[in-house]
Amino acid sequence: SRFNGFFNRQITRTKRVVSDAVNLDVQPVPVAFIGQHWLPAEQVHLEQKWSGDISQMKPGEPLTRTLTLLAKGTTVGQLPELNGGDQSIRSNTGGELKNYPDQPVLKEQKKTDGVIAFREEKVAIIPSMNGSYRLPAIEIP
C-alpha cells in the first residue's frame, strides 16, 4: 500500500520457531542462611556517600544520603531496598530525623561474563532538633 497509516492492512506471515529443551537444576537457599533477603550474587559492593558533613548537621537543614549497591551475577529485580522506606528515627532527647526518599535508580548491564545490577537510593534527612541519632545498620548477606 502507498500509505503506512494506522488503519491500512499489512500483509503478514505467521512463522513458528521452536528451541531445544533446557534442563535447569535450581538449588535451594543454603540451610545455614539466616538473613531476610537471599541475594545470589558472585560479588556485592555497598557504598554510602553524604552530600555534606554529617558531624555538622543542624536542625531543619537537610543532608542527602546516597546508598549504592552493585552486584555481579544477579538481576536488578533481586536487589533489596536499602533505606527501609520513609521511617522516622528518634533520638534519646526526643528529636526526630525525617526521611524523604527519592525514587531509586535501577540499572542492569549484560556483559560477556554475566549480569551486573545497580541500585542507587537517595534520601534527604532532616533533624528536627539537636541530639544524637543512630541510623540502623544496612546489611546485605
Q: Which pTM does this prediction carry? A: 0.74
55-106: per-residue pLDDT in tens?
A: 888 999 999 999 999 999 999 999 998 876 556 677 666 778 888 999 999 9
Q: What gap in Å lies between CA 61 and CA 52, rounded to an integer?
A: 11
Residue pointed to by grid coordinates 533533624: 127
**Helix (H) or strand (E) segment spanning residue 69:** strand 63-72
Q: What gap in Å lies between CA 59 and CA 131, rounded to an integer?
A: 9
